[in-house]
Amino acid sequence: MLVITRREGEEVVIGDPARPLGVVRVAGVKGDRVRLAFEFPREVDVHRREVADQILSERPQVVGAIKPTASGGQG
């Protein structure tokens, strides 16, 4: 895990700096609360941890996968 210190208004670039996947900016600090701004393409999901955990708990559990046979299943 990377831990860094940023001040209000400072940013962290995610991915290649020439073509970043996204940017996280410290939008504000008030007491013990920090506001973060996330700038990512719409197709990239961004969730709070509790929401991500809920999404995972609601997904059906896949035990194994069915793989096709080398002959294509005919014989």
Q: What is the pLDDT of residues 19-51, one digit of tens each?
A: 999 999 999 999 999 999 999 999 999 999 999
Does residue 66 lie in a domain region? no
Does residue 49 lie in a domain region? yes
Asked whether 37 and 27 are in contact (CB, 8 A), the reply is: yes
Does residue 69 lie in a domain region? no
Asked whether 31 and 25 are in contact (CB, 8 A), the reply is: no
Mean pLDDT estimate for the chain: 90
Q: Which residue has the higher pLDDT, 69 or 39?
A: 39
Does residue 71 lie in a domain region? no
Does residue 6 lie in a domain region? no
- Contacts of residue 41, defined as CB under 8 A and 6 or more positions apart, other chains included, come to 21, 22
Q: What is the pLDDT of residue 63?
A: 73
- Contacts of residue 40, defined as CB under 8 A and 6 or more positions apart, other chains included, come to 14, 21, 22, 23, 46
> Domains in the chain: how many in total?
1
The share of the chain scoring above pLDDT 90, in percent, equals 77
Domain that holds residue 28: 18-58
pLDDT at residue 72 tops 60: no
Does residue 33 lie in a domain region? yes
